[in-house]
Amino acid sequence: GQQVMQIPQYQHVQEGEDFTTYCNSSTTLSNIQWYKQRPGGHPVFLIQLVKSGEVKKQKRLTFQFGEAKKNSSLHITATQTTDVGTYFCAGPSGSARQLTFGSGTQLTVLP
């Protein structure tokens, strides 16, 4: 079955440093979604990428979808303590709107 791998599993950064998490799929994806889960909370949708090579920005967050549509990345510039949480990528699987989630990258921002 489809696998979605995400690295790193954990990342500690000093506030103000940049952060990147990478997502790789074993199969070509029609689209990829990114979610953020704050400690003790639930995942919240951030963005969806659809086109090959697509780049989208949300303030300090930059999302990229690879040319082959098998990988994606999330880059945060100048992290803040509000960025703390676990970031998940997710790709569609099956024929009925299922998502396969990556294992997530847990970001800790040290003040």
Partner 1 sequence: DGGITQSPKYLFRKEGQNVTLSCEQNLNHDAMYWYRQDPGQGLRLIYYSQIVNDFQKGDIAEGYSVSREKKESFPLTVTSAQKNPTAFYLCASSISGTPGRTYNEQFFGPGTRLTVL
CB of 24 to partner 1, least distance (A): 14
Starting at the earlier edge strand, list the strands of the sheet with 19-25.
Answer: 4-7, 19-25, 71-76, 61-65, 55-58
CB of 78 to partner 1, least distance (A): 26
Q: Tell me the window of 12-20, 52-60, 72-80, 91-99 that interacts with partner 1 (CB under 8 A).
A: 91-99
Task: Compute how many residues bind partner 1; rule: CB under 8 A.
Answer: 26
Q: Pick the binder of partner 1 from 19, 22, 63, 88 (CB under 8 A).
A: 88
Cα distance between residue 30 and residue 50, in whole Å: 6
Is 20 a binder of partner 1 (CB under 8 A)? no
Is 2 a binder of partner 1 (CB under 8 A)? no
Q: Tell me the window of 20-28, 61-69, 75-83, 103-111 that interacts with partner 1 (CB under 8 A).
A: 103-111
Q: Is the peptide bond before 111 cis (omega within 30 degrees of 0)?
A: no
Count Cα atoms within 13 angstroms, Cβ side, for 64.
12
Q: Pick the binder of partner 1 from 41, 53, 57, 81 (CB under 8 A).
A: 41
Asked if 70 and 13 touch (Cβ cutoff 8 Å), the reply is no
